[in-house]
Structure 1
């Protein structure tokens, strides 16, 4: 689950569910039921502010959202780790697009709570194959619980893109070096950004492009190597783009032997000021995603080493 760093409290949430074109919701569509149930859930709970945690729609009510809502069908389910399932979703609507780093509202038939999950695949995969991927950690939150206990191949859901945290360089832009800092399942939007960079380098199709790209350095922290998601994919990207895409994995509670393939890229302990200060420059942007305490800690580190606030972008998840 995720939510943007901006927190907004109010009773405007149901308005978020009214923006889609009526043509997207035929009268027999389960999507109309989803919208109605979410509307009732939000209106019935808007006055409760201190007795429970805000849900995804409330937390992100002030964030950008697309109008397009699309139906999607689950076409792949794999275990990314012992606690994280990776979903492949076939997208029905060709008008559905997203930018690397954004999330989706996740509507489930029969579940009144709307999920919010960061996309972990690249925009290029959606363009090429009509596929979007999510990696969801098991929790008691109803949407995540449904994914881990009831979701099957061919399950149908509905999605809507939102979020102000993304990397979307244009061909005429000056090259920017990126430092991506992830904690736990906060890797999801940053992995999407990393894959997008790979696509722009022509990794998938071997085609030239007009984008001017800097380097991308990923710092990714987790308790142990078994909780490092996408590690094989990330190692593959480093091999494909030596010097352009690099990564340092940090583990804080590693008790077992680390495999030889990972060893050169593993550092024991948290991401430190010393790790980050070597990347400070006028043409570097910093993207952070992880638990709120990590965001606050890393933000302080960046401030201490003189990184301007307007160069730091972050996404918190709960």
Structure 2
């Protein structure tokens, strides 16, 4: 791997390239904070895809794209006189140091002079410490939930809301108790569906989904990752059904549900067979 000096040089090289593009590339010259925002969102999701697939080649590639956007925003900030990349890095370093008072920063640049405190015993205690410290920061969160970005996808937002509430003690005493809430919300949803009440059904569906995400969190399962794995599984199996139908010279819309279901089950069996062979070879 690269030395620290090589890493710093590479970062400087990328900054030089981006600054030159801003000056000489017609596309880069016309970009603004707002025009870049959609691209940044797309690049972030592409990174998320690579991480989900454990594709290290593309993780490296997409990290570069995200970093390029960070530098671009910093260049725009420099042009407006608001901030530059040094301000971004220094502010983040100071924030991290302040939020980790249990680490001795004596003698470090920007020493936060915070009470070292007791060393947390696990990551959950660290998160609880963060939530308390964030509200003490000059530009920190004013309320427990104000740090949850409004533009987060709803599923991830629900998880983060619940997790932040947990950090201040608002949580189930026993995780098993959450299932009573899940069943309660499911029953309320079924009642409204039976009434054919669209508005209340949607409200109750939201409550039911929120309770399921709560259960996932309590059992240390990531609902977003779990749902994406199921999305990919459905895509694979449906693709198998579509392929087999095409090989048989049939259109999906002309097939019966039973015929499609048979192909779906074939896809499931094929996946299990492939997984079994993979695990067998992996253990040899």
Instruction: Point out which structure has higher relative CO (alpha carbons under 8 A, 6+ apart).
Output: 1
Q: Identify the TM-score tier after normalising by the shorter chain.
A: under 0.3
Larger Rg: 2
Q: Going by fraction, where is strand more abundant, 1 or 2?
A: 1
| TM-score, normalised via structure 2 length | 0.23
Q: Going by fraction, where is helix more abundant, 1 or 2?
A: 2
| TM-score, normalised via structure 1 length | 0.21
